[in-house]
Amino acid sequence: MRPARIRPARARSALALGLLLCFLVLAAAVLASLFIGSGHDVSGGDVFHALFDADLSDKGQLVVHEVRIPRTAAGVLAGIALGLAGCVMQGVARNPIADPGLLGINAGSSVAVVAAISLLGLASPSQYIWFGFLGALLAALLVYGIGSLGREGATPVKLALAGTATQAVLVALTSAILLKDRDSYDQYRFWQVGSLTGRDGSDLWQALPFIAVGAVLALALGPALNALSLGDDLARGLGQKVGRTRAGSALVVVILCGAATAIVGPIAFVGLAVPHAARLITGPDYRWILPYSAVLAPVLLLLADIVGRLVARPGEVQVGVITAAIGCVPFIILVRRRKLVEL
């Protein structure tokens, strides 16, 4: 893993300009998400009035206000959370293929949602969102506790092994619950594939504080992740408390991934591929990789959702399917070109 270099002012200005351009691309993706749908497109007037002075008796404004605005907001929030979580996870684990599955977060969230649906009879995302978040938290704590056993503490290899074992157990438990309850399987199947649809304002407002706090903490981790990229011994020599940094980073990842997974389901490849794309632009400096990932990830998620609306009109392909199809291609290219070793 290459250390971050001190950049001259001109290079920092170029990166700042690039980040601004990424924000403009994100704004364009947001507008496209509001205008384009699987049924019919709406006019600019419908979008404007739906945003600022909605008349819900008008069909176009109703569609924008009740469906597309929550859907777009869910894509932005989940994208920010997944992009930052994947970036932090890859940095703290020094593992180029780290993703939410590494710490069993997706599996923990899944088994908690299934239990809430099957055992408690919850049917609304606003009800079981908290169980998804709690499941992700407990799974991560379990993985970290197992990985911390022994004198060496929670090393990246031990965390990866503990996460893999925990995920296998949780997936088996989820399957056992679903086999006994067909109704729970029908509800869980829609959530599991990863979707931005079916979310209302209450779901998003519940997740917003967690994502906001997690995003601020993640962005503040840039210098610490740069130090960790040099190795634990050098990081300690630079004054970093390695164990505390890893624990704090794990908490940030749980907050971000737990909230995102709870509201949109376990969407693959966003947190895995986006940090690599950001790294190709910024180099190895996490002070820039993190904000770029926070902007590029919602762009990917929204564009994938738009593609899903267009390819199967008048039906839709869920965004989790599209991100898997889109995200695996550049990731395979990165692997073939051996870019992963340049972390």
**Tens-digit pLDDT profile for residues 72-84:** 999 999 999 999 9
Whether residue 342 has pLDDT greater than 50: no
Which pLDDT value is given to residue 211? 92
Give the range among 103-112, 149-158, 197-206, 253-262 with minimum mean pLDDT.
Answer: 149-158
Which pLDDT value is given to residue 340? 44
Whether residue 61 has pLDDT greater than 70: yes
CA atoms 173, 175, 180, 181: torsion sign: positive
Whether residue 334 has pLDDT greater than 70: no
Question: Is residue 47 within 8 Å of residue 64, measured between CB atoms?
Answer: yes
Quick one: how far is CA 301 from the chain centroid? 9
Distance between CA atoms of 65 and 78, rounded to whole angstroms? 19
Helix/strand/coil percent split, the chain, to 5: 80, 0, 20
Residue type, 232: D
Which pLDDT value is given to residue 143? 83
Which pLDDT value is given to residue 182? 67
Name the average pLDDT for the chain.
Answer: 80
Mean pLDDT of 25-35: 93
Question: Is residue 276 within 8 Å of residue 204, measured between CB atoms?
Answer: no
pLDDT tens profile 222-262 = 988 888 877 777 877 777 777 788 888 888 988 888 788 87
Distance between CA atoms of 270 and 255, rounded to whole angstroms? 16
Distance between CA atoms of 104 and 85, rounded to whole angstroms? 13
Give the confidence band of 216 by pLDDT, cuts at 50, 70, 90: very high
Residue 260 CB coordination number (10 Å): 36
CA nearest neighbour of 215 among 98, 95, 108, 297: 297
DSSP per position, 48-106:
HHHHHS--TTSHHHHHIIIIIHHHHHHHHHHHHHHHHHHHHHHHHHT-TT--GGGGTHH
Which pLDDT value is given to residue 124? 67
Question: Is residue 104 within 8 Å of residue 142, measured between CB atoms?
Answer: yes
Distance between CA atoms of 91 and 228, rounded to whole angstroms? 8
Which pLDDT value is given to residue 319? 83
Which pLDDT value is given to residue 79? 93
Question: Is residue 324 within 8 Å of residue 269, measured between CB atoms?
Answer: yes
Distance between CA atoms of 255 and 246, rounded to whole angstroms? 14
Mean pLDDT of 282-295: 93
Highest mean pLDDT among 69-83, 113-127, 164-178, 253-267 belongs to 69-83
3-class SS of residue 276: helix
Q: Which domains does the chain have, with CATH numbers?
A: 9-93+196-342 (1.10.3470.10)
CA nearest neighbour of 78 among 286, 317, 304, 316: 304
- Long-range contacts: 303-306, Cβ < 8 Å, 24+? 303/29, 303/32, 305/33, 305/71, 305/75, 305/196, 306/29, 306/32, 306/33, 306/36
97, two tokens: 């293929």
Distance between CA atoms of 17 and 15, rounded to whole angstroms? 5
Which pLDDT value is given to residue 339? 46
Give the range among 52-56, 195-199, 307-311, 331-335 with minimum mean pLDDT.
Answer: 331-335
131, two tokens: 């169980």
Give the range among 156-160, 194-198, 201-205 with minimum mean pLDDT.
Answer: 156-160
